[in-house]
Structure 1
Amino acid sequence: MHKIAIVVYPKFSLLDLSCMTEVFNSVNRNSPKYSVSIYSSEGGKCVSEDGLSIYTLSLQNNVSLNSYQTIIVMGGVGYEKASQDKTLIDRISSLNKNIRIVAICSGIFLLAYAGILRNKTVTTHWTCMPQFKKKFPKINISDKSLYIHDGNILSSAGGISGIDLAIYIVKYDFGKILADKTAKHLIILSDELNTSTNKSLSYINLKNSRFQKLLKLFHENLNITYSVEHLADTCHMSLRNFNRQFKKEFGVTPKKYLEIIRIEKSKELFNQNKHLSLEQVAYKCGFASSISFSRAFKRNMNITPKLYLQTL
C-alpha cells in the first residue's frame, strides 16, 4: 500500500484536493493501492476557500511525515498565511530526500519557504508566477507545462491540471494500463497532453490559441458586455462556425468562458478587499447587476458571494 499524506491549511483549494483524491479513490475501487491521510497544522476542522470543511489530523507535538512515501501540499488563497506557519514549514523542511513531494498550484510557495527547491524546476498557477519569481528569484519556475517532475519534487499549474498530475503519478507508480483505466473511469484523457497548448482557460495558454486577440480582450476588459454576434464578427467567422470552433478549442461556449473568468476575477477582488459591495464587484466584472452576479457565482461555486465572504 502506497502511503500518501496530504497537507492542507485554512482556505485551501477544495478543487486541488478533489482532483488528487478522486483519482486515488478511483484506483482503489479496483484494488486498494493508495492509503490517504489528510493533515493540517492544528488538526480537526479545516475550512476551505469555498467555505466547506474537512476533518484533518494534527501536525503538532513533533508529528513526522517521514513514514509516508508521498507528501502532497495543496494550493489555495490561504497559502500566504500558511507560508508563515512554522509547524507546516518545519514539517516540510524536515522531510527525507527520498520522499516524493508534490505541490499543487500555490502550494509550491510552502516548499520554497521550506528551502527544498534548490536546483529544481517547478511550476505553479499563472497568476502566482510574478509573485513567486519576485520572492524566489533563484528558483527556476516554468510556464511551459501543466506539471513538472524534477527529482523527488512534482508541481502542477493548478486548476484541473491536478488531475493530469494525479494520473501521471498513478502511471509512474503502477504503470500505463492502470493509469489509462483510471482515466477512462473519470472520463479524462490519460495520454500526457503535458504542454502549454492544452485546452485550458488559463491565460498563459492564450498565446497558442487561434482566438488569441479575442481572449486577451476578454481578460483585459471584463467589464464590457459582449454579444456573441460581435465576437464572431471580430474573428471574421459566421456565428455558427464561431460557436462550434470556440467550444472545440476550450470545451465551453464563449458565454460560459466569460462567466468563468468573471467569477474568478470576482474572487480575486474579494480576496483583495472583502469590504467591496456586491454591486461594486458586479460592475468591475461585467455583470449587469448584483443579482445576476450572485446567481452566476452560486452556479459556478455552489456558494453565494455573501457566504464566500464570510470565509475570508
Structure 2
Amino acid sequence: MTITDIFLPKYCDILRHVDVEIGLYMHQIAVLALPEFVPFDLSIPCEIFAYTSLHNSQALYNVKVCSHAPQVTSKAFSITTNAGLHALETADTVIIPGVENMGQPVSDAVLESIRRAHRRGVRIASICTGAFVLAQTGLLDGLRVTTHWAAGAELAKQYPKVEVDENVLYVDQGQIITSAGAAAGIDMCLHLVRKDYGAAVAANTARILVVPLERAGGQQQFIKHGVDPSSDAMAYILDWIVKHIHTDITVDRLAKQANMSPRTFARKFMQQTGISPMKWINQTRIFRARELLETTDLSMEHISNTVGFNSAVSFRTSFKKHVGTSPSHYQSLYRK
C-alpha cells in the first residue's frame, strides 16, 4: 500500500462533501439483484436512499438496481433492472440484498465484480442472507459479521473463517457492513446515511419513512428460544411491562404477576427473550422515551417520569449509554 492509497480516498470524500454543498455530486448506490432475491430486502435501500435529501430538497443519492442479466426473478415476480454489473464500477456503495437460497452458487462474473469494487475502495453492505453472497467472495474471512438469526448457524457452518454474531442488528467493519434479517436493513441503511451526511439528515429520512433512527437492542429480542408452557404467561408479562412502564417494576413484582418464584421467573424470561427482565425493562423505557422525544416537546423531567426512571440524571445516563447521544440532542434532531 502506498501513501496515495491511504490519502486519495479521503481526499475524494472531502471533494464529494464539498460538491454536495454546491449541488454537483450524488453518492452512487448500486443495489445488486440476484436470482431468488428477497423483494423486501431489495426495496429497503431503494426507498431509504431515495428519500434522503438536504434541507433544500437536493437529493444526495443516486440508486441503480443492477444485475448480471436484464431480468431477475424472485418468488413472487420478476423485475427488469436498469443497469448491468458495470454499475459496480462507478458505485460508491454496493448493497447486496438477501437471497432465498442460501446455498445458491453465485456466478464468477458477479463475485469478481464485487471483489473489483472492494479493491477500488467501494463500501460494500449486505442485508440479511446477502451475507452468504458476500461470503462467497472471500471478503468476509476473518471478519465479525451478522445475518438473520435463523441463518447464522448455517453461515458459520458454510464459512468457518467468518465470525458470525447473531445478536446484533448490523456490524460495521468500515468498508464491509453486514445487517441482520429483514427490517434490520433499514437500521443499517440509516446508519450509512448518518455516516455520510450526519445525524440530522439521517433523522429527517427516518422521520419521512416513519421509522426510528436507531433501535435499541439486537436480534435477541426477536429470537424464539423454544416453545414453553410459560410462553403465554410471558406474552402477558411483556404487555404488562409496557402498560406499567411508568411505575417501579422489579423482578419480584413481575414474578408475582406470573405466579412464579423470582428465580423461576427470571430463568423462564431469559429462555423466552434471550435477555434478563431488568434489561428488557430498561430497553422498553428507552424505546418509549425515544418515541416521546421524536414526537413531543416534553421536558426531560416529564419524559423521565413517564417512562419510569427515578430521576432525570439516571434517565440521561441510561439514554446516552444505549443511544449514543443525550436525550436533548436526540430530541433536537426531530424538532427541526
How far 1:245 sits from its partner (Å)? 4.2
- Aligned equivalent of 1:47, options 48, 70, 73: 73
Cα gap change, 1:136/1:195 in structure 2, threshold over 3 Å: closer, same or farther?
same
Output the CA distance in 1 between the equivalents of 2:242 and 2:99: 28
Q: Cα deviation per residue 1:138-167 (whole Å; 9 max; x = unaligned)?
A: 111111211000120000112111111111
How far 1:187 sits from its partner (Å)? 1.1
Unaligned stretches of 5+ residues in structure 2: 1-25, 244-336
- Aligned equivalent of 1:25, options 47, 50, 55: 50
Q: Retained in 2: the 8 A contact 1:9–1:40?
A: yes
- Asked if 1:94 is matched to 2:124, the reply is no
How far 1:72 sits from its partner (Å)? 0.5
SS of match in other structure, 2:77: coil
Match of 1:186 in 2: 209
Output the CA distance in 1 between the equivalents of 2:41 and 2:73: 14
Letter in 1 for 2:29: I
Q: Cα deviation per residue 1:100-127 (whole Å; 9 max; x = unaligned)?
A: 0001111111211111123311101122
Letter in 1 for 2:116: S
Letter in 2 for 1:38: V
Output the CA distance in 2 between the equivalents of 1:178 and 1:53: 31
Output the CA distance in 2 between the equivalents of 1:135 and 1:64: 29
- Aligned equivalent of 1:129, options 152, 159, 163: 152
Letter in 1 for 2:197: F
- Aligned equivalent of 2:168, options 145, 149, 161: 145
Cα gap change, 1:35/1:79 in structure 2, threshold over 3 Å: closer, same or farther?
farther
Output the CA distance in 2 between the equivalents of 1:116 and 1:196: 24
- TM-score, normalised on structure 1? 0.62
Output the CA distance in 1 between the equivalents of 2:149 and 2:234: 29
Output the CA distance in 2 between the equivalents of 1:104 and 1:191: 16
Output the CA distance in 2 between the equivalents of 1:45 and 1:22: 20
- TM-score, normalised on structure 2? 0.58
Letter in 1 for 2:64: S
How far 1:66 sits from its partner (Å)? 3.1
SS of match in other structure, 1:57: coil
Q: Retained in 1: the 8 A contact 2:67–2:81?
A: no
Cα gap change, 1:217/1:175 in structure 2, threshold over 3 Å: closer, same or farther?
same
How far 1:68 sits from its partner (Å)? 1.1
- Asked if 1:34 is matched to 2:56, the reply is no
How far 1:79 sits from its partner (Å)? 4.6
Cα gap change, 1:194/1:7 in structure 2, threshold over 3 Å: closer, same or farther?
farther
Match of 1:298 in 2: none
Q: Retained in 2: the 8 A contact 1:146–1:161?
A: yes
Match of 1:217 in 2: 227
Letter in 2 for 1:49: K
Output the CA distance in 1 between the equivalents of 2:78 and 2:216: 31
SS of match in other structure, 1:164: helix
- Asked if 1:85 is matched to 2:107, the reply is yes
Unaligned stretches of 5+ residues in structure 1: 208-215, 219-229, 249-312
Output the CA distance in 2 between the equivalents of 1:31 and 1:64: 22
Cα gap change, 1:149/1:243 in structure 2, threshold over 3 Å: closer, same or farther?
closer
How far 1:191 sits from its partner (Å)? 3.1
- Aligned equivalent of 1:105, options 119, 128, 142: 128
Match of 1:235 in 2: 233
Letter in 2 for 1:80: G
Match of 1:174 in 2: 197
Q: Retained in 1: the 8 A contact 2:64–2:87?
A: no
Cα gap change, 1:103/1:161 in structure 2, threshold over 3 Å: closer, same or farther?
same
Quick check: 187-196 or 127-136, which moved more? 187-196
Output the CA distance in 2 between the equivalents of 1:126 and 1:162: 13
Rg comparison, structure with higher value: 2
Letter in 2 for 1:2: H
Q: Retained in 2: the 8 A contact 1:11–1:50?
A: no
How far 1:27 sits from its partner (Å)? 0.8
Output the CA distance in 1 between the equivalents of 2:32 and 2:62: 14
Cα gap change, 1:243/1:184 in structure 2, threshold over 3 Å: closer, same or farther?
same
Match of 1:115 in 2: 138
Say how many residue pairs are matched. 215
Q: Cα deviation per residue 1:234-256 (whole Å; 9 max; x = unaligned)?
A: 5188xxx66944998xxxxxxxx
Output the CA distance in 1 between the equivalents of 2:102 and 2:91: 23
